[in-house]
Amino acid sequence: MAFIQAIHMNPGQGETSYACNSSFQNAGQKRMKPLIEAAITDLCSNTNTLLHGKMMIMDAGCSSGPNALALISPAIDAIHNHCLQINQPPPEVCVLLNDLPDNDFNTVVKSLVTLRQSKKTIVVTGVAPGSFYERLFTSDSLHLVCSSNSLHWLSKAPEDLTRNHIPAFDIDEHARRERLPMVREAYAQQFRKDFSLFLELRAKELVSGGRMVISLVGTRSNAIASKFILFPGIVAQILSVLVAEGVIDKAKFDSFYVPLYGPSSEELREIIEAEGSFSIREMRVHDPRIDMTTTLSTPARFVNNLRALFEPIIVQHFGKVMDEFAMAAELYWSLDASLQEERARTSRTMLAVSLAKA
Ligand SMILES: C[S@@+](CC[C@H](N)C(=O)[O-])C[C@H]1O[C@@H](n2cnc3c(N)ncnc32)[C@H](O)[C@@H]1O
């Protein structure tokens, strides 16, 4: 069972760090820019929302490296440009970055200082360590919440599986196919609970008329997903090679759960509507295959990307297996034509949603 503290990306600036292996995620962040700009225009035009000439914006699940500021920075520019256009003084802005406590906040804090020095509108910057599935801010204090590539991380693996010792990924293909609908449903239910809670909490923290622009990994509606979404399926397959080689214990493998779920756009819409705190201004669905090209282009890139995302959670569960994992992953890349096939058939999508507090 994965504990929440293990969910963080590989820290630092090394070759397996998230900072050096997040260009795929950055491509998605760039596509969110128009949604962020539209939300800012809306916020700045609403005199009730900006009553005291102050604006508080936050990023939920910022991680570290260049992506940590990739949503906040265009938001600040949009505020500046909008105020210039209408000939108004810009509001005083407070920027807060959130992630789980084990995130590499040292690097984040340094980049926040640089950001504040380069953007005159920013008066205060800070970090807000903690789970975004808990209250993080005082009520009616936030104006804009951004989040990219983070909300598909669940608060925990589904208890229906962990309690009943049902593996998320059976090594036996027949058993895996048989159980897939049940396993998927357990993950879907956990996502529904977590995402509804996230909406409820942020609605308390946002001012009336506050905005939220988020993106997360999704699943194509019509997908017959044989391996969930691309990466956890591949991670499980690589780990299963280590089971066959006797590097890791089968029972240990069976109790490994990656707390990730990618909803379909319909599922996401339905959860937002049922929870009721937000109206959907815009929802975009993007096919991520083009962005994957670099990530999968060489064995080293493929392995480093997997390590950047999954090393902490793998090491916490299995101990020191990363050298063996990296070797098996390289072999998987070079031998397995199915990686390219999987890329072509991937059931993955990227979902971006712009929300307004109802
Ligand atoms: C793939 S990174 C995304 C980072 C960045 N936003 C981007 O788009 O590149 C996902 C981040 O979400 C964070 N995360 C996962 N669950 C979280 C939670 N419950 N509360 C806060 N952060 C969380 C992880 O620690 C990780 O840093």
Of 30, 132, 153, the one to substitute when testing ligand 1's pocket (max ligand atoms within 8 A of C-beta) is 153
CA 47 to ligand 1 centroid distance, Å: 32
In the predicted structure, residue 9 carries a pLDDT above the cut 70: yes
Q: Is 29 in the pocket of ligand 1 (CB under 6 A)?
A: yes
pLDDT at 221: 76
Q: Could you report the per-residue pLDDT of 203-224, keeping only the tens digit for each?
A: 999 999 999 999 999 988 766 5
Give every CB contact of residue 245 below 8 A, 6+ residues apart in sequence: 324, 328
pLDDT at 230: 44
Q: Is 17 in the pocket of ligand 1 (CB under 6 A)?
A: no
CA 129 to ligand 1 centroid distance, Å: 11
Q: Could you report the per-residue pLDDT of 287-296, keeping only the tens digit for each?
A: 877 777 666 7
Q: Could you report the per-residue pLDDT of 123-154, keeping only the tens digit for each?
A: 889 999 999 999 999 999 999 999 999 999 99
Q: How far is CA 291 from CA 30, 115, 213, in A?
A: 12, 27, 21
Q: 340: domain range?
A: 4-357
User: By three-state DSSP, how is residue 293 classified?
Assistant: helix
Q: Is 24 in the pocket of ligand 1 (CB under 6 A)?
A: no
More confident residue, 278 or 48: 278
Mean pLDDT of the chain: 88
Q: How far apart are CA 136 and CA 40, in angstroms?
A: 22
pLDDT at 340: 64
pLDDT at 134: 97
Q: Is 153 in the pocket of ligand 1 (CB under 6 A)?
A: yes
Where is average pLDDT lowest: 9-18, 196-205, 238-247?
9-18
CA 61 to ligand 1 centroid distance, Å: 3
178: left (phi over 0), alpha (psi -120 to 50) or beta: alpha
pLDDT at 96: 97
pLDDT at 229: 46
Q: Could you report the per-residue pLDDT of 13-24, keeping only the tens digit for each?
A: 888 988 888 888
Average pLDDT of the segment spanning 225-231:
48
CATH number at residue 83: 3.40.50.150
**Listed residue (249, 220, 197) closest to 351, CA to CA:** 220
In the predicted structure, residue 265 carries a pLDDT above the cut 60: yes
CA 99 to ligand 1 centroid distance, Å: 6
- How many folded domains does the chain comprise? 1
Where is average pLDDT lowest: 47-51, 117-121, 300-304, 351-355?
47-51
* Nearest ligand 1 atom to alpha carbon 7: 25
CA 8 to ligand 1 centroid distance, Å: 7
Q: From the centroid of its chain, how far is CA 46?
A: 30
In the predicted structure, residue 273 carries a pLDDT above the cut 50: yes
* Nearest ligand 1 atom to alpha carbon 26: 9
Q: Which tokens belong to 158?
A: 């589904």
Q: How far apart are CA 325 and CA 319, in angstroms?
A: 11
pLDDT above 90 covers a percentage of the chain that reads 62
CA 85 to ligand 1 centroid distance, Å: 34
In the predicted structure, residue 228 carries a pLDDT above the cut 80: no
Q: How far apart are CA 73 and CA 104, in angstroms?
A: 19
Average pLDDT of the segment spanning 60-75:
95
pLDDT at 192: 97
Q: Is 16 in the pocket of ligand 1 (CB under 6 A)?
A: no
Of 21, 26, 100, 193, the one to substitute when testing ligand 1's pocket (max ligand atoms within 8 A of C-beta) is 100
Where is average pLDDT lowest: 21-35, 95-109, 222-236?
222-236
Q: Which tokens belong to 159?
A: 């208890």
In the predicted structure, residue 346 carries a pLDDT above the cut 90: no
Q: Could you count the other beta carbons within 10 Å of the beta carbon of residue 280? A: 13
Ligand 1, atom 24: closest residue by C-alpha: 8
**Listed residue (340, 336, 335) closest to 295, CA to CA:** 340
Q: Is 67 in the pocket of ligand 1 (CB under 6 A)?
A: yes
In the predicted structure, residue 226 carries a pLDDT above the cut 60: no
**Listed residue (201, 111, 93) closest to 147, CA to CA:** 201
CA 210 to ligand 1 centroid distance, Å: 22
Q: Which tokens belong to 216?
A: 């997360």
